[in-house]
Chain A
Amino acid sequence: AQSVTQLGSHVSVSEGALVLLRCNYSSSVPPYLFWYVQYPNQGLQLLLKYTSAATLVKGINGFEAEFKKSETSFHLTKPSAHMSDAAEYFCAVSDRGGKLIFGQGTELSVKP
């Protein structure tokens, strides 16, 4: 069975600081991994995805994530936080059959 654990339900950073959102996964097959962002009362938007090509994946809005098989991790980073990055972020894993298993989400706050 697949599962996703996001460490920290709330993360707060100052504007301009590094953003690090943690995600660990469990999968019995080589996984596809995703990060989505959600703004209040809206749907989810794909930030980036890993599908067994390069282990360092670059996404939109300056975000990137690194797939580390030995650590079963797929942490999301951004070098410099912007106020507009405040949102909820979801890590998800797919067994390549299309269904996504989501983590519980991490709410990112950005302080001026």
Chain B
Amino acid sequence: DGGITQSPKYLFRKEGQNVTLSCEQNLNHDAMYWYRQDPGQGLRLIYYSQIVNDFQKGDIAEGYSVSREKKESFPLTVTSAQKNPTAFYLCATDGRQGLSTEAFFGQGTRLTVV
């Protein structure tokens, strides 16, 4: 089955703890993205990667880190420096064909601080 797999679906984090959200894709897409979704704020870009071993900060990168060691995988770590991590996190890939682009999304991970 082709697609984007995010795990876990629900994640609980204690104060001061780092947690890692997984995103795996088998679409053979080069570009991958992490977005954060909060009620009434739409989606905001955290980090993105357009090629293996390279990634760039998005609009709200503080308190987050990523790696892109394999084309298929783009894990997101929410560090203790992120003061308000409770949110819905979405991973996406870019199915670019020539000049046309279309983002495909995973099912999301809901992170809650307890």
| A binding-site residues for B, Cβ under 8 Å | 9, 32, 34, 36, 41-46, 49, 51, 90, 94, 96, 98-100, 102-105
Contacts and interface: CB of A to CB of B under 8 A. Distances in A.
A9 B110 CA distance: 22
Given A46-B103, A102-B43, 9 more contacts: A32-B100, A42-B108, A43-B106, A44-B90, A51-B99, A98-B31, A104-B40, A105-B40, A105-B42
B49 to A, nearest CB: 10
A45 B105 CA distance: 7
Contacts of B53: none
A46 B6 CA distance: 18
Interface residues of B, number: 30
A9 B107 CA distance: 22
B33 interface: yes
Nearest to A42: B107
17 contacts: A9-B40, A36-B105, A43-B4, A43-B6, A43-B105, A43-B107, A43-B108, A44-B43, A44-B105, A46-B104, A96-B101, A100-B45, A100-B103, A102-B44, A104-B40, A105-B40, A105-B42
B74 interface: no
Interface of B: 4, 6, 31, 33, 35, 40-45, 48, 50, 58, 88, 90, 92, 94, 96, 99-108, 110
B33 A104 contact: no
Contacts of A43: 4, 6, 90, 105-108
Given A41-B110, A44-B90, A96-B101, A90 B43 contact: yes
Nearest to A51: B100
B42 A102 contact: yes
Contacts of B4: 43
